Structure 1
């Protein structure tokens, strides 16, 4: 970028110098007018030949920068890893299976974020809340079950955890379905718009026109011989 800018300024200076000499010597125009014309030529050349600097500009997709997408994906990977690590300490196969189901749905949602970054704004807060809640519930379960106390209230709380994790798993499933449904609607809208554009430009047959005639029809009797 720096080399291109330097070259642009050099060429602009040469153009301005040539314009000055042509006006002053070739056309015998007064000095001040020749200077003014050469300055104008220099500025015009700079605008056309010198690339503009782009400071701190990141390409964004749906108002979500690539850096933000990368950060969300990295954080998501770490959260899933942390939840799976906690699941190994829980000592309950039923809960482990439920937690693994939650992790798989989380991974699906994060993969959807990678494909369609705009969904980060739509579901990012949901995912953050339920992920943190899941971690807290599992940590609390491990803490309570590790005491080995047969207190009725504690046992009741531990029993409820399975139901709560089931609700969280269901919430993740519904959120994933919503994101995929929205993606399908977006794609359908794009297809409809494309079809209308092609029809308007005469590049596609209208749906009501029916299929094109088969070879050998419309008076062509080649295949009837």
Structure 2
């Protein structure tokens, strides 16, 4: 709360009334008369201001502070996703969706089971690389050749199988794809396994160091074998 002093205008009106009464009652045509009227007006103003019409003191409430608008939450601006990782996730969804579509169309039980396995492994490969972007270079050939070529072969198998006829070209090509699928499944498995190569090496090193430390402390596994009484 703030205090504000507001002077009354009544003393000013009193001065005006003083001049009016002076001009009606007393002469006002010589300099001495003017000085007398001015002195009387000043006296009326001072007395009225100090004794009769004192300044009013008002309590003025403080103006509320204007809050600045809150900053809008930033979108993935500061934490914008790596374009390559975003593209990788998009390719994951596209590839898995295509595998599911082909699996629904292809009636062969063996091929269908192999597609199920490929879908699972492909998802794991791309998920792992999305979480470990430094591994992107390891799956470049997988993304650029192995995966799209596998989908191409499965699409050809689907089209030929749905043709509803048997022939040298159709049967021969479908047979080659069926044989190739075993190799493809194994290749996809090796690709997933290779991604864990560095981690496996680190763990193997940790195991060796731990074994050496335990042996140095006399805490190797053989020390805990139950001895016959």
**TM-score, length basis structure 2:** 0.52
1:164 aligns with 2:171: no
Alignment of 1:1-225 (within 5 A): 66-186=82-202, 210=217
Runs of 4+ in structure 1 deviating by more than 6 angstroms, as ranges, are 57-60
Answer yes or no: is the 8 Å Cα contact 2:105–2:158 preserved in 1.
Answer: yes
Q: CA deviation at 1:114?
A: 2.7
Give yes or no for contact 1:87–1:138 (8 Å, CA) kept in 2.
Answer: no
RMSD: 3.2
**Cα deviation, residue 211, structure 1:** 6.5
Deviation at 1:159, TM superposition (A): 1.7
Counterpart contact for 1:58–1:66, Cα < 8 Å: no
Higher relative contact order (Cα pairs below 8 Å, separated by 6+ residues): 2
Structure 2 contact 88–130 (Cα < 8 Å) conserved? no
Please report how far the alpha carbon of residue 100 of structure 1 lies from its aligned counterpart in structure 2 after TM superposition: 1.0
Give me the whole-angstrom Cα distance separating, in 2, the residues matched to 1:172 and 1:72: 17
SS at 1:169's partner residue? Answer: helix
Q: Name the one with the larger strand percent.
A: 2
- Alignment length (residue pairs): 141
Provide TM-score, normalisation by structure 1: 0.53
Structure 1 unmatched ranges of 5 or more: 1-56, 196-205, 213-225
